[in-house]
Amino acid sequence: MLYTVDGWEVWDRGQATSLMFGDLIPAVERLVKQPSGFTNTGWDEIQIDPEKVRAFLAATFRYLSHSGSAPLRLMVRGFLQVALFLDYRASGEWYPVPEGFEDITEDLHLIT
């Protein structure tokens, strides 16, 4: 599965990783009531709208900072790490993660 921005490939992952991330997108969108900027074309390609991804990340971190749910935060940790990595590949700059989310940023170097 390819992840692209304007036809430019930013990530090519194995099936299991891509399918799990893709399946979580609508769940987190519903949770934070914000479109993610990740669009599944149905052809083994996910298109990325960098501006929408940034707004989605902001909404997700805002939601998590107000929810107070440790289990929810743990469940979305990996999803957010992949989203942050894809945002970086799409925009060329790391998203400024708010203070208090060091647990989410600590293993970003493991994503390739």
Write out pLDDT tens, residues 36-54.
999 877 777 788 999 999 9
Pair type for strands 8-12 and 45-48: unpaired
Query: Is-contact 54 91, C-beta < 8 A?
Result: yes
pLDDT, mean of each 10-residue run, the chain (112 residues): 76 75 92 93 82 97 93 93 93 94 88 80
Residue 83 burial (10 A CB sphere; 0-12, 13-18, 19+): buried
| Rounded Cα distance, 85 and 15, in Å | 17
Query: Residue 67 has which token pair?
Result: 């929810």
pLDDT at 46: 83
Task: Evaluate if pTM is beyond 0.75.
Answer: yes
| Rounded Cα distance, 57 and 63, in Å | 10
| Rounded Cα distance, 8 and 87, in Å | 13
